């Protein structure tokens, strides 16, 4: 099953996106929970720059920015509707 390509017009502020090739990482050594490297779009500038939050941006560090072109190339799908409110998506252990 292939991943549909998202276009620049489909990237919206407040929505959460997962990579075409998602990775999971341990959020911190005190927890055994692995999280996807999802990104929540905080702002899209009129110059095509996307500012986003992620579970792996360290506290006290600035939010990351990238170009719309790079974000669209990275993004695989919108996972906002499957993400718990106020949380990030954990990898389900089977």
User: What digits encode the pLDDT tens for the residues 32-60?
Assistant: 789 999 999 999 999 999 999 999 998 89
Average predicted confidence (pLDDT) for the chain: 89
Beta carbons of 35 and 91 less than 8 angstroms apart: yes
pTM of the complete model: 0.86
User: Residue ranges of the domains in the chain?
Assistant: 8-82
Q: Please, are residues 34 and 56 in contact by the beta-carbon 8 Å criterion?
A: no
DSSP3 helix / strand / coil % (the chain, rounded to 5): 15, 30, 55
């Amino acid at each position: 099953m292939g991943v549909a390509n998202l276009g620049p017009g489909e990237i919206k502020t407040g929505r959460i996106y997962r990579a075409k090739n998602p990775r999971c990482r341990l959020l911190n050594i005190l927890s055994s929970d692995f999280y996807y490297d999802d990104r929540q779009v905080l702002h899209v500038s009129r110059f095509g720059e996307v500012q986003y939050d992620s579970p792996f941006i360290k506290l006290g560090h600035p939010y990351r920015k990238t170009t719309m072109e790079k974000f669209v190339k990275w993004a695989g799908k919108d996972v906002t509707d499957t993400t718990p409110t106020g949380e990030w998506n954990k990898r389900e252990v089977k």
